[in-house]
């Protein structure tokens, strides 16, 4: 068996080696040499012969190759052995090899595109595959197809250890990461209603380098025996250099690439060039960029001159801790303006990168956080790790009153449940500097002696995925301003003098800004709600920018106010009171007349009715392309009554007279009277209260609790900005609801059960037009391999948040290509 070793022995060998840095660099170089793509006419650089020195095992294999494949150039044999690097023992004498020259050869060939590393981010290859193979079903690309597929695409940004590849060649990074080259998913299909992600194998050309590499394993098995698990040992050693054993940030490069696209990445790089990273970034550009003008100019000019893949490589040269802090700070100061309702997650996971639950990252308005596993489980694990590493488990035992050496997990879980996460962090983390610094390191939170305790705790809670619900503040702000306006009116006896009128005028300025917003939201949301196709078009997702465009589609671009005067709707928002009041009147009139309208005018075509509708226990209610036509008469009438009440109060409030009077009338006799302003405030407040309570506004709700019993009944408890509780029941009796109720994401709940089926209230997700949403529009591209147009996609309200997404399922099931492809190509140099 020779010198066969297990992974733990190999990790110890790597960690304790006198020349560990050289060893890790050689491993990194070997991965880039092994996993790059080579053209059909590739020959290894003759300098490999002198640059690479082999070990005894390496020479043993090389001699067999020289005899059995006497036509193979020596340079290709040596490059192939570097790509393999190890079998039972190392095949390369890394201490005596010229690593600088080897790195220079690979760096030069990457810069000059003599070898290619596929760039799997920014949808470039995903979109190109869709163009080249619109029907999908292409499990393997031939060498010629590979050449066409990768031609004129950027060099891939990947990292092994401190070595980072990309358009600038092989550069040094301050971070240690294990992200070897590989392709992400290239196409999606739909099978049995499930979206399935597919990888594609890239065939390799018949060149000397591949011929040599493909023989190494079989020769080594004949001459040496079994292989030692070097690859896993190296990968583990790299991945656990920074952070805790349970929390590492493997997914950070994917998050940066997938979740901060376009102009946002330019803004982030410009922000980095103005931060404490500016010297390092400038020096990196000066050292590696072939274009000297790239480094000239201010931060914004430098960032804007770079391509997205160049920006990605430069940003990834920053350490994980500094990069996470940079992104967090950019979110908190508005450089990255991420809506409160948006959750961004990586989508492209390259082959050979395994993401566990505790490595899953997401980007929100406050920055990056760990997601996936239960927050309390993560907190418990991190506390045990931190106290164990610092040798203070006895202190933890005392604090949580644990008498057993093995009972920390259970006692900690009880402690967290009883005291809550905030108090737990306060008592168990901030009380010990070593523990606080461990948390800071594991969660990438800067630790400063003068830092405010509440801020540090708040950041820890956010990073660990303890949700602190945030809400759209437009409705509470309007209510507050109405109360302020009323308080001002009550504080003055009359408006006879300018000083008092000025006080009223000041209170009214912001009030009317909020009131305009309220009316626009009221019209936009209700028009979208009642007149949209929530099965095929909106997919139960509310997007305010898209909803603004629906209003003129339903009521017309312009509406008459009088015979010679019309108003026009602005789809970009900022509609004036005159426009808003006229369109509110039109909405109310139209909704009131819906009961007598023929529903067949918006009948769904038969091709859009799912096949699975026949013979199922739950009926498919979306027989029409507008919600009102699928609604029960009772719910539609009740809805019309509420909307009519709101409209009447708004019309009777005298908004134009009061607003114009405050803005333009300086004469005390023409200024609105106190009585008129009191009436205005009372009626507007009443309208706002009715709209808010009846949920005719797109108010945010957060899922607070979910429970179920053995009979299949489910109860969902939601809360809104005011703390008001709302209870929904499940499972739904309607088929085809595209909604999924999850913790950690706000939703909008429709005002009535329009469909009339048990537990079938419509619940809408929330989206905004951002760089991220635009970048990932029309993703995934679903291939219709069969006639799926009539099949139903049913994300019902009884789907719990633990159900993995299609991407997660695909990630689990398809980390490797098909078995046949893997067996055929796993011994080929550069094969995926």
Q: What is the mean pLDDT of residues 279-301?
A: 90
Residue 608 confidence (pLDDT): 73
Q: What CA–CA distance (Å, rounded) separates 700 from 685?
A: 20
Report whether 361 contacts 251 (CB < 8 A): yes
The total of structural domains in the chain comes to: 5
Residue 404 confidence (pLDDT): 62
What's the CA angle centered on 462, arms 460 and 467, to 5 degrees?
Answer: 135
Q: For residue range 379-435, what is the model confidence (pLDDT) as tens digits?
A: 998 998 899 888 888 888 888 887 665 567 788 888 998 999 999 999 999 988 899
On whether residue 536 sits in a domain, the answer given is yes
Is residue 621 packed enough to be buried (19+ CB in 10 Å), middle (13-18) or exposed (0-12)?
buried
- pLDDT band of 815, cuts 50, 70, 90: very low
Pair 162, 302 in one domain: no
Q: For residue range 202-250, what is the model confidence (pLDDT) as tens digits?
A: 999 999 999 999 999 999 999 999 999 999 999 988 887 655 556 778 8
Residue 32 confidence (pLDDT): 97
Residue 9 confidence (pLDDT): 93
Q: What CA–CA distance (Å, rounded) separates 714 from 708?
A: 4
pLDDT at 806 over 50: no
Could you count the other beta carbons within 10 Å of the beta carbon of residue 143? Answer: 18
Pair 279, 220 in one domain: no
Rg (CA), the chain: 32
Pair 484, 517 in one domain: yes
Pair 537, 626 in one domain: yes
Last residue of a domain, one of 421, 443, 463: 463
Q: For residue range 777-796, what is the model confidence (pLDDT) as tens digits?
A: 888 888 765 543 333 333 33
- pLDDT band of 690, cuts 50, 70, 90: very high
Residue 409 confidence (pLDDT): 78
SS3 of 775-806: the string is: HCCCCCCEECCCCCCCCCCCECCCCCCCCCCH
Pair 179, 113 in one domain: yes
Pair 420, 273 in one domain: no
Residue 826 confidence (pLDDT): 38
Pair 397, 311 in one domain: no
Q: What is the mean pLDDT of residues 499-528?
A: 95
Could you count the other beta carbons within 10 Å of the beta carbon of residue 671? Answer: 21
Q: Is 97 helix (H, G, I), strand (E, B) or coil?
A: coil
Residue 143's contacts (CB-CB under 8 Å, 6 or more residues apart) are 40, 203, 204, 205
In 595-652, which residue ranges form alpha helices assigned H by DSSP?
627-630, 633-652
| Phi, psi dihedrals of residue 382, rounded to the nearest 5° | -70, -35
On whether residue 643 sits in a domain, the answer given is yes
Pair 590, 484 in one domain: yes
Residue 670 confidence (pLDDT): 81
Q: Among 56-60, 133-137, 595-599, 722-726, which stretch is predicted with the lowest mean pLDDT?
A: 133-137
Look at 201 and 614; give whichever has higher pLDDT. Answer: 201
Q: For residue range 733-791, what is the model confidence (pLDDT) as tens digits?
A: 888 786 678 888 899 999 999 999 999 999 999 999 899 999 998 888 887 655 433 33
- pLDDT band of 689, cuts 50, 70, 90: very high
pLDDT at 339 over 70: yes
Q: What CA–CA distance (Å, rounded) separates 441 from 445?
A: 7
Instruction: Please report, for residues 151, 316, 768, the alpha-carbon distance to residue 548 in angstroms, rounded to integers and kept in the order given.
Output: 42, 39, 12
Residue 563 confidence (pLDDT): 85
How many CA atoms are closer than 13 Å to the CA of 96, on its beta-carbon side?
7
- pLDDT band of 665, cuts 50, 70, 90: low
Last residue of a domain, one of 244, 272, 288: 244
How many CA atoms are closer than 13 Å to the CA of 3, on its beta-carbon side?
11
Residue 790 confidence (pLDDT): 36
Report whether 257 contacts 348 (CB < 8 A): yes
Report whether 433 contacts 422 (CB < 8 A): no
Report whether 150 contacts 158 (CB < 8 A): no
Report whether 567 contacts 582 (CB < 8 A): yes
Pair 232, 257 in one domain: no
Q: What CA–CA distance (Å, rounded) separates 667 from 498?
A: 9
pLDDT at 569 over 50: yes
On whether residue 179 sits in a domain, the answer given is yes
Last residue of a domain, one of 188, 214, 244: 244
Q: What is the mean pLDDT of residues 443-456?
A: 80
pLDDT at 307 over 80: yes
- pLDDT band of 589, cuts 50, 70, 90: very high
pLDDT at 359 over 80: no
Residue 259 confidence (pLDDT): 96
Pair 394, 447 in one domain: yes
Pair 240, 256 in one domain: no
Is residue 8 packed enough to be buried (19+ CB in 10 Å), middle (13-18) or exposed (0-12)?
exposed
Residue 779's contacts (CB-CB under 8 Å, 6 or more residues apart) are 123, 126, 347
Q: For residue range 83-120, what is the model confidence (pLDDT) as tens digits?
A: 999 999 999 999 999 999 999 999 999 999 999 999 99
pLDDT at 825 over 50: no
On whether residue 313 sits in a domain, the answer given is yes
Q: What CA–CA distance (Å, rounded) separates 782 from 226?
A: 43
Percent of the chain with pLDDT over 70: 89
Residue 356 confidence (pLDDT): 60
Residue 795 confidence (pLDDT): 35
Instruction: Please report, for residues 19, 90, 226, 233, the alpha-carbon distance to residue 5 in angstroms, rounded to integers and kept in the order given.
Output: 20, 12, 10, 11
On whether residue 549 sits in a domain, the answer given is yes
On whether residue 824 sits in a domain, the answer given is no
pLDDT at 189 over 70: yes
pLDDT at 7 over 60: yes
What's the CA angle centered on 303, arms 301 and 308, to 5 degrees?
Answer: 140
Q: What is the mean pLDDT of residues 572-586?
A: 95
Q: For residue range 56-77, what is the model confidence (pLDDT) as tens digits?
A: 999 999 999 999 988 899 999 9
Q: What CA–CA distance (Å, rounded) separates 82 from 213?
A: 9
Instruction: Determine if the pTM surpasses 0.75.
Output: yes
On whether residue 357 sits in a domain, the answer given is no
Residue 720 confidence (pLDDT): 94
Provide the residue range defining the domain that includes 529: 474-693
Q: What CA–CA distance (Å, rounded) separates 830 from 36?
A: 5
Pair 534, 618 in one domain: yes
Q: What is the mean pLDDT of the chain?
A: 87
Q: Is 760 helix (H, G, I), strand (E, B) or coil?
A: coil
**Strand segments (E) across 549-686:** 558-562, 565-568
Percent of the chain with pLDDT over 90: 65
680-716 as b/e: b if 16+ CB within 10 A: bbebbbbbbeebbebbbbbbbbbbeebeeeeeeebeb
Report whether 228 contacts 5 (CB < 8 A): yes
Residue 800 confidence (pLDDT): 31
- pLDDT band of 355, cuts 50, 70, 90: low
On whether residue 530 sits in a domain, the answer given is yes
């Amino acid at each position: 068996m020779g010198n066969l070793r297990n992974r733990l022995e190999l990790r110890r060998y790597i960690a304790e080696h006198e020349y560990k840095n050289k060893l890790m660099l050689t491993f990194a170089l070997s991965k880039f040499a092994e996993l790059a793509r080579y053209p059909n006419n590739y020959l290894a650089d003759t300098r490999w012969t002198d640059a690479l020195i082999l070990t005894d095992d390496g020479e043993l294999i090389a001699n067999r190759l020289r005899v059995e494949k006497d036509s193979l150039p020596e340079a290709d044999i040596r490059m192939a052995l570097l790509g393999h690097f190890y079998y039972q023992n190392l095949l390369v004498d890394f201490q005596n090899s010229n690593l600088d020259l080897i790195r220079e050869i690979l760096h030069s060939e990457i810069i000059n595109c003599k070898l290619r590393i596929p760039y799997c981010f920014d949808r470039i290859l995903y979109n190109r595959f869709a163009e080249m193979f619109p029907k999908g079903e292409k499990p393997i690309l031939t060498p010629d197809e590979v050449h066409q597929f990768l031609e004129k695409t950027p060099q891939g940004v990947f990292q092994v250890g401190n070595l980072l590849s990309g358009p600038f060649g092989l550069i040094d990074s301050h971070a240690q990461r294990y992200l070897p080259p590989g392709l992400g998913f290239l196409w999606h299909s739909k099978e049995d209603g499930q979206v399935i992600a597919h990888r594609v194998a890239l065939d390799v050309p018949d060149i000397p380098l591949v011929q040599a590499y493909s023989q190494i394993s079989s020769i080594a098995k004949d001459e040496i025996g079994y292989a030692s698990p070097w690859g896993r040992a190296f990968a583990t050693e790299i991945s656990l250099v920074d952070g805790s054993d349970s929390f590492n940030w493997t997914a950070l490069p994917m998050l940066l690439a997938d979740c901060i696209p376009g102009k946002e990445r330019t803004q982030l790089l410009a922000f980095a060039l103005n931060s404490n990273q500016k010297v390092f970034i400038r020096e990196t550009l000066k050292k590696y960029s072939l274009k000297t003008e790239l480094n000239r100019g201010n931060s914004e000019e430098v960032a804007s001159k770079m391509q997205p893949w160049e920006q990605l490589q430069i940003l990834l040269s920053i350490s994980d801790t500094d990069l996470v802090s940079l992104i967090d700070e950019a979110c908190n100061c508005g450089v990255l303006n991420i809506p409160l309702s948006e959750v961004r997650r990586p989508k492209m996971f390259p082959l050979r990168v395994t993401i566990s639950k505790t490595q899953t990252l997401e980007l929100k308005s406050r920055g990056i956080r760990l997601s996936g596993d239960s927050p309390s489980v993560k907190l418990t694990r991190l506390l045990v790790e931190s106290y164990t590493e610092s040798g203070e488990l006895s202190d933890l035992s005392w604090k949580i009153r644990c008498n057993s050496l093995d009972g920390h997990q259970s006692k900690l879980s009880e402690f967290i449940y009883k005291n809550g996460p905030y108090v737990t962090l306060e008592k168990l983390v901030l009380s010990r500097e070593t523990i606080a610094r461990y948390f800071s390191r594991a969660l990438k939170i800067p630790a400063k002696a003068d830092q405010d305790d509440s801020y540090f705790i708040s950041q820890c809670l956010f990073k660990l995925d303890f949700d602190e619900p945030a809400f759209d503040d437009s409705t509470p702000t309007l209510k507050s301003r109405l109360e302020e306006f009323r308080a001002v009116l009550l504080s003055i006896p009359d408006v006879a003098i300018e000083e008092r009128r000025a006080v009223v005028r000041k209170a009214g300025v912001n009030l009317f800004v909020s009131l305009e917003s309220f009316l626009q939201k009221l019209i936009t949301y209700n028009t979208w709600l009642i007149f949209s196709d929530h099965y095929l078009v909106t997919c139960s997702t509310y997007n305010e920018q898209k909803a603004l465009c629906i209003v003129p589609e339903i009521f017309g671009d312009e509406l008459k106010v009088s015979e010679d005067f019309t108003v026009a709707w602005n789809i970009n928002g900022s509609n004036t009171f005159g426009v808003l009041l006229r369109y509110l009147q039109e909405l109310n009139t139209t909704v009131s007349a819906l009961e007598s309208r023929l529903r067949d005018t918006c009948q769904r075509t038969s091709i859009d009715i799912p096949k699975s509708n026949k013979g199922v226990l739950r009926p498919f209610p979306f027989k029409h392309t507008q919600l009102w036509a699928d609604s029960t008469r009772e719910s539609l009438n009740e809805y019309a009554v509420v909307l009519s009440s709101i409209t009447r109060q708004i019309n009777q409030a005298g908004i134009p007279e009061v607003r114009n009077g405050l803005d333009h009338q300086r004469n005390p006799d023409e200024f609105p009277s106190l009585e008129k302003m009191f009436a205005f405030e009372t009626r507007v407040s009443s309208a706002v209260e009715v709209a808010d309570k009846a949920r005719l506004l797109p108010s945010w709700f957060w899922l607070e609790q979910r429970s179920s019993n053995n009979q299949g009944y489910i109860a969902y408890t939601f809360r809104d900005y005011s703390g008001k509780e709302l209870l929904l029941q499940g499972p739904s009796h309607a088929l085809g609801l595209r909604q999924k109720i999850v913790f950690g994401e706000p939703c909008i709940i429709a005002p009535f059960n329009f469909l009339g089926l048990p537990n079938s209230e419509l619940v809408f997700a929330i989206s905004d037009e951002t760089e991220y949403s635009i970048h990932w529009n029309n993703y995934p591209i679903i291939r219709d391999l069969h006639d799926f147009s009539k099949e139903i996609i049913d994300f019902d309200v009884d789907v719990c948040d633990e159900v993995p997404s299609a991407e997660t399922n695909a990630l689990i099931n398809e980390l490797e290509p098909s078995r046949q492809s893997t067996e055929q190509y796993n011994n080929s140099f550069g094969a995926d």
